[in-house]
């Protein structure tokens, strides 16, 4: 395994464990490039870089205080990491306008993180949002 692949893998593990699972928003300053682009944002027109991701993480952790991402599969190269995760949590706070339901959810998500100069510079994700909304009882 190349040094770059090992570095990218460690970064993605930190991204999910420290940022999403533990809520350490400042870690984003280390992991993301200043011109980072989130191609799959939950909010319209996020600002580039860590500043555009921090409010999304904070909102998700307010909505789901027990939010947990588990890495199920990870494939890495010198300039990208593809990762399949399972995310789960209990809906205890506002979720982008959806009032708390108290219901637990568990869905899958696939992410691609592109790296440049040791930092994540672009992000794409697909989340099973329909299952998430069904499990929260928002849609039938």
* pLDDT mean across residues, the chain: 96
**In the chain, domain spans:** 3-135
Q: How would you label 59-73 residue by residue, b for 16+ Cβ within 10 Å and e otherwise?
A: bbbebbeebebebee
Share of the chain above pLDDT 90, in %: 95
Residues 34-93: tens digit of each pLDDT: 999 999 987 788 899 999 999 999 999 999 999 999 999 999 999 999 999 999 999 999
Q: How would you label 118-139 residue by residue, b for 16+ Cβ within 10 Å and e otherwise?
A: ebbbbbebebbeeebbebbeee
Amino acid 44: pLDDT = 81
CATH of span 3-135: 3.10.450.50
32-38 and 104-116 as β-strands: parallel, antiparallel, unpaired? unpaired
Sheet with 32-38: list strands edge to edge.
32-38, 119-127, 104-116, 80-90, 68-76
């Amino acid at each position: 395994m190349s040094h770059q692949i090992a570095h990218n893998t460690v970064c993605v593990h930190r991204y999910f464990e420290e940022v999403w699972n533990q809520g350490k928003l400042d870690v984003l300053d280390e992991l993301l490039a200043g011109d980072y682009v989130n191609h799959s944002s939950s909010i319209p027109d996020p600002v580039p870089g860590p500043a555009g991701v921090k409010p999304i993480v904070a909102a998700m952790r307010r909505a789901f205080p027990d939010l947990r991402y588990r890495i199920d599969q990870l494939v890495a190269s010198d300039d990208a990491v593809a990762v399949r995760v399972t995310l789960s949590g209990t809906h205890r706070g506002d979720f982008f306008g959806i009032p708390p339901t108290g219901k637990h959810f568990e869905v899958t998500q696939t992410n691609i993180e592109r790296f440049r100069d040791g930092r994540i510079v672009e992000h794409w994700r697909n989340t099973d949002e329909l299952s998430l909304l069904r499990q929260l009882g928002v849609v039938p």
